[in-house]
Chain A
Amino acid sequence: MSWIDNRFEEGLIVTSLDWAINWGRTSSIWPMTFGLACCAIEMMAVGASRFDIDRFGAGAFRATPRQSDLMIVAGTVTYKMASRLKRLYNQMPDPKYVIAMGACTVGGGPYFKHGYHVVKGVDLVVPVDFYVPGCPPRPEALLEGLMRLQDKILHQTRAKDPMSRVRAEVLAK
């Protein structure tokens, strides 16, 4: 959640502003090159000639978390990697999104049973917005995940959550 969120009452200005900001954010998602394993190759294929993620404005793969909005966790997360993953996530500026790409990040995948060193799902480490199943997911599947993420961003608002006041009151009691 960035500084502008959850400050103003809903109104004409806020909704127009929402539309403009969301349009900007949707069309320029900068993913982080966070390839861990097999899925990273499909993530590269998405960025390469045939599938061309640039069509959706998400082709600017950044090598540093500080410049990226989206972390595509592509591949198996191990315990040795988990703390690094968390640190990288914390370094990303808000608003930040996470796509869990592949069966391993969704829930351990083929390494669920005998994988003593595999984290059984990246959502145990960082919050996940979208899950893209598959082992590995086809590039089209990742693009679908990206478009669902764009849908999500499009429907975000800067306005105050009407429930937030109620929630605060409940918590105060």
Chain B
Amino acid sequence: MGTTVLQSGSDVLTDVEGSEQGDLRTEEMLVNMGPQHPATHGVLRVVLRTDGEMVLESVPHIGYLHRCAEKIGENLQPFQYIPYTDRMDYLAGMNNNQAFSIAIEKLVGIEVPLRAQFIRVIFAELNRIASHLVAFGTYGLDMGAFTPFLYAFREREMILDLFESTCGARLTYSYITIGGVHDDLPDRFLEVLDEFLDYFEPKIDEYNQLLSFNHIFVKRTANVGVISADDAVRWALTGPVLRASGVNWDLRKSTPYEIYDRFDFDIPIGLPGGREGVPRSVVVGDSWNRHIVKVWEMRQSCRIIRQAMAQITDGPHIAAKVKNVKLPDDEVYVEIENPRGQLGFYVRGDGSSIPARVKVRGPSFCNISVLNHVGKGCLLADIPAIVGSIDIVMGECDR
């Protein structure tokens, strides 16, 4: 009777039949993680089949936050549906508003004023920073570091103040709407934003010193849950998860929507250890890379915002007559780059003002589906590291 042990530092399972432990018999155990668990980022449930400390199978179960968003989409007019998109990926409400708005604009053929597009880009990128800050902070929590969470939320509150001054809401904005944005920017907004960016950009280095290059953190995340580039594409992973695997793919760059082609920015991708200050134990596609790509993306978002602030023009902030639009008998599928990956909206019209079908392709939904594939053979304590680095939001995973 042989047992299986994990060779240190690799995922290779070795049979040690005939060795000293050869007569040791271990029972497999089912561990139920979630839906109420602090490290599952919401109500994800993972059923783990474990052999001692080793995970043989990790099956994610979702649906504990299934809020019928698609059924609601078939019963409301598009502009009424905008608030529901906020509540899908509730950490990135602006990006969700933007995705659905672009889908409807493309379907109906609405031209968005230039100023509105600039405002959209500014807010989408600000929301990306806010979302990555939460990801950064809660990943620290998952790894046992409480302080980065407080730092991240301190800066996030400043971004939320900017949002609040513009649209009055902290979390569910409904600000980006069909045909443009709901209101024009408030007075002195760009000055306050400039002050914030001046304050924020040096903080990114502080975060890295605090968490990303922390020795314990690197030990917990480096070479854990490695996803190869090929696997990432086959499992349709997108966003930071895909880029951490070394695939240079960002919809803002590769198929630019809105006015992203006007800006100059880089796409951070996962790096192997030893280069550009990356810890030696890191490999492309591991949890550490998935974490650091998000931190690097925050800096790129700052660059985009600065360029958008310099280039912004005067003009109307919303196209005329956008409510009660009749949707043509046609269908559209639009994807944009959400903080978590490519958020897709499929909208099908039937000639009336209410869509016949709305389907949401949630990036978290696709990203978490790879968990069983990645989690095979890792240690039990690595599962929170993997789940946290994939950075899911159950609201859009279950919709």
Known: A81-B35, A81-B65, A114-B75. A37 touches B42 (CB 8 A): yes
CB distance from B179 to the nearest CB of A (A): 22
In the assembly, what is the distance between CA of A139 and CA of B153, in Å?
Answer: 13
In the assembly, what is the distance between CA of A58 and CA of B154, in Å?
Answer: 19
Whether B68 and A118, one on each chain, are in contact in the complex, defined by CB atoms closer than 8 angstroms, is yes
Whether A38 and B36, one on each chain, are in contact in the complex, defined by CB atoms closer than 8 angstroms, is no
Partner-binding segment picked from A2-10, A15-23, A44-52: A44-52
> Is A111 an interface residue when CB atoms closer than 8 A count as contact?
yes
Contacts of B38 in A (CB 8 A): 33, 63
> Is A42 an interface residue when CB atoms closer than 8 A count as contact?
yes
Contacts of B149 in A (CB 8 A): 48
Known: A48-B150, A49-B154, A115-B72. A41 touches B65 (CB 8 A): no
Query: Per-position contact with A for B192-207: 1 when CB-CB < 8 Å, else 0?
Result: 0000000000000000
- Tell me the A125-156 residues at the B interface (CB within 8 Å): 135-136, 138
Residue A111 contacts which of B37, B67, B170 (CB distance < 8 angstroms)?
B67
Residue A78 contacts which of B36, B65, B87, B137 (CB distance < 8 angstroms)?
B65
Contacts of A111 in B (CB 8 A): 67-68, 72
Whether B68 and A84, one on each chain, are in contact in the complex, defined by CB atoms closer than 8 angstroms, is no
CB distance from A52 to the nearest CB of B (A): 9
Whether B87 and A41, one on each chain, are in contact in the complex, defined by CB atoms closer than 8 angstroms, is no
In the assembly, what is the distance between CA of A34 and CA of B156, in Å?
Answer: 22
Whether A115 and B67, one on each chain, are in contact in the complex, defined by CB atoms closer than 8 angstroms, is yes
- The chain B residue sitting closest to A114, CB to CB, is B72
Known: A110-B83, A111-B72, A114-B72. A49 touches B65 (CB 8 A): no
> Is A88 an interface residue when CB atoms closer than 8 A count as contact?
yes
> Is A40 an interface residue when CB atoms closer than 8 A count as contact?
yes
Whether B153 and A36, one on each chain, are in contact in the complex, defined by CB atoms closer than 8 angstroms, is no
Contacts of B150 in A (CB 8 A): 48-49
Contacts of B134 in A (CB 8 A): 41, 44
Contacts of A114 in B (CB 8 A): 68, 71-72, 75-76
Whether A49 and B171, one on each chain, are in contact in the complex, defined by CB atoms closer than 8 angstroms, is no
- Tell me the B91-150 residues at the A interface (CB within 8 Å): 91, 134, 137-138, 149-150
Contacts of B90 in A (CB 8 A): 37-38, 41
Residue B67 contacts which of A50, A65, A118, A136 (CB distance < 8 angstroms)?
A118
Our count of residue pairs bridging A and B at CB distance below 8 angstroms stands at 98
Whether B67 and A84, one on each chain, are in contact in the complex, defined by CB atoms closer than 8 angstroms, is no
Whether A115 and B68, one on each chain, are in contact in the complex, defined by CB atoms closer than 8 angstroms, is yes
> Is A66 an interface residue when CB atoms closer than 8 A count as contact?
no
- The chain B residue sitting closest to A139, CB to CB, is B170
> Is B64 an interface residue when CB atoms closer than 8 A count as contact?
yes
Contacts of B395 in A (CB 8 A): 37-38
Query: Per-position contact with A for B2-46: 1 when CB-CB < 8 Å, else 0?
Result: 000000000000000000000000000000000111100011000
> Is B394 an interface residue when CB atoms closer than 8 A count as contact?
yes
Known: A50-B154, A50-B157. A36 touches B43 (CB 8 A): yes
CB distance from B134 to the nearest CB of A (A): 7
Residue A110 contacts which of B87, B137, B151 (CB distance < 8 angstroms)?
B87
Residue A45 contacts which of B75, B153, B172 (CB distance < 8 angstroms)?
B153
> Is B351 an interface residue when CB atoms closer than 8 A count as contact?
no
Residue A38 contacts which of B156, B157, B171 (CB distance < 8 angstroms)?
B171
Known: A35-B42, A41-B90. A136 touches B172 (CB 8 A): yes
> Is B274 an interface residue when CB atoms closer than 8 A count as contact?
no
> Is A160 an interface residue when CB atoms closer than 8 A count as contact?
no
CB distance from B387 to the nearest CB of A (A): 15
- The chain A residue sitting closest to B171, CB to CB, is A136
- Tell me the A97-114 residues at the B interface (CB within 8 Å): 110-111, 113-114
Whether A37 and B153, one on each chain, are in contact in the complex, defined by CB atoms closer than 8 angstroms, is no
Known: A49-B153, A50-B153. A36 touches B42 (CB 8 A): yes
Report 13 cross-chain contacts, Cβ distance below 8 Å, ordered by A residue: A33-B38, A37-B42, A37-B65, A37-B90, A38-B395, A45-B153, A45-B170, A48-B150, A50-B157, A110-B83, A111-B67, A111-B68, A115-B71
